[in-house]
Amino acid sequence: MELRFPIEFIVEGAPVSFQAKRSAARSSWKARVKAASSAVVPDEHEVSQSRIAATLFYFPHEPMRGDVDNIVKLVLDALCGHIYVDDAQVERIVVQKFEPERVFGFGSPSATLDDALSRQRPLLYVRLSDNPFEDLK
């Protein structure tokens, strides 16, 4: 079965940095990302060969100590061979943190993003699209 984009999902917990010293922590985070994505895609699906745009919104429960760019690599790696063939297909990445004291209102969030906004932090909202230019019109 062919994947239908956009694909949105929520990964509960704090992302693990690619630079984390413990390989078990990196592996566990990648497994959580894959499991969260598996919940929203058909069991028997074809891996996409399309160009991909990824949006990652991190909602920490307190001000973030690390760099926001360090959370990207493991998320993209976790989805290789599951959502897309290779992370080289990812042409656009938007990553942003929304710390608790910096309130931001989304104009018309999707149902999944709205769900993320109502959940307990920390969590990561992920949106994947097969149109890297969709909001550059």
pLDDT in the model for residue 137: 60
**In the chain, which stretches have pLDDT less than 50?**
none
pLDDT in the model for residue 56: 98
Whose tokens are 């976790």? That residue is: 78
Query: What is the spatial distance between Cα 1 and Cα 114, in angstroms, rounded to a whole number?
Result: 28
Cβ–Cβ < 8 Å for 79, 36: no
pLDDT tens digits along 47-81: 999 999 999 999 999 998 888 999 999 999 999 99
Determine the CATH number of domain 7-129: 3.30.1330.70
Query: What is the spatial distance between Cα 115 and Cα 9, in angstroms, rounded to a whole number?
Result: 10
What is the residue-averaged pLDDT of the chain? 94
Helices (H) and strands (E) counted in the chain, each on its own, are 3, 4
Half-sphere exposure of 3 (CA within 13 A, CB side): 25
Token output for 83 = 């959502």
Give domain limits for the chain: 7-129
Query: What is the spatial distance between Cα 12 and Cα 70, in angstroms, rounded to a whole number?
Result: 17
